Amino acid sequence: MKPLYVLLVLPLLIVAQEYEKHRFESTKGEGVLPFRLLLPKNYNPKKKYPLLVFLHGAGERGLDNELQLTHGSRLFLTPDNRKNFPVIVAFPQCPENSYWAKIAARNPFRFHKEKPINPQLDLLEEWLAVMQEKYPVQSDQIYVGGLSMGGMGTLELLYRNPTKFAAAFAICGGVDPSWAEQIQHTPLRLFHGKLDAVVSYQFSADLHEALVKKNAPVKFKSYPNYNHNSWDAAFQEPDFLSWLLIHKRTSP
């Protein structure tokens, strides 16, 4: 059994060998989506499994079908997590000229108040539907989460699909707080570093406040000494996966 610290520093090339390489082509003209897949240990296609979709940040965009594994992929390879959390894990990759989330402005960040046109999430939703057909996915246990751009994309995906996901997490992400109305029914965990100089900490704080006012099932973990890399701390939370995967989707 490999110690946790060894797994967390494994070179990306070695990590990538554990994840199957796939490529999804849209039938609706939305494009191509490279993705990596980690099936549960002792995978049985006749058994249903939870599905966890992980959305990477802007720095991992491309078409190499590897960079998206830079952050987070090692977490699912630890012996304890492989044993205790039999889940299908998917890492799709956003192309370099696109984004998971549609932002109204970037310097400084300003978010849309209404649902924006987003072909990248159209493609992701088409892919997700195919994943549910192709693999034995437990329909009430579909989870999504991401970091930075992927955290924003996660929140936008929840806004577009308010009753689809069992639970979600957004690390150093952001969204217009008015979207709390749409995403309030999905159990959500927010993480953010107070020193973040890339995506303002206030974005997560404001969304948390808006969700709390609606008595939404939300948790917020702030890190006083972390900059944008708050995912390093989030992945070390002892209940990071157990909190997420204990949830099952229920009707609002």
Residue 252 falls within a domain, yes or no? Answer: no
Which residues make beta-bridge pairs with 91? 36
Range of the domain at 127: 4-245
What pLDDT score does 10 carry?
66
**What is the secondary structure of 93-110 as a DSSP string?**
---TT--SS-EEEETTEE
Q: What is the CATH number of the domain that holds 33?
A: 3.40.50.1820
Residue 167 falls within a domain, yes or no? Answer: yes
What pLDDT score does 2 carry?
44
Q: 124 with 137: CB under 8 angstroms? A: no
What pLDDT score does 29 carry?
87
Backbone angles phi, psi at 113, to 5 degrees: -90, -25
What pLDDT score does 5 carry?
44
Whole-structure pTM value: 0.95
Amino acid occupying residue 92: P
Residue 251 falls within a domain, yes or no? Answer: no
Residue 240 falls within a domain, yes or no? Answer: yes
What pLDDT score does 11 carry?
78
Residue 250 falls within a domain, yes or no? Answer: no
The two three-digit tokens of residue 151, written as one number = 């955290």
Closest C-alpha to 55, from 138, 118, 140: 118
Residue 191 falls within a domain, yes or no? Answer: yes
Q: What is the dihedral of CA 235, 145, 53, 45, to 10 degrees?
A: 70
What pLDDT score does 1 carry?
38
| Domain count of the fold of the chain | 1
pLDDT by residue for the chain (252 residues), tens only, comes to 344 444 455 678 788 899 999 999 999 988 999 999 999 999 999 999 999 999 999 999 999 999 999 999 999 999 999 999 999 999 999 999 999 999 999 888 999 999 999 999 999 999 999 999 999 999 999 999 999 999 999 999 999 999 999 999 999 999 999 999 999 999 999 999 999 999 999 999 999 999 999 999 999 999 999 999 999 999 999 999 999 999 999 865
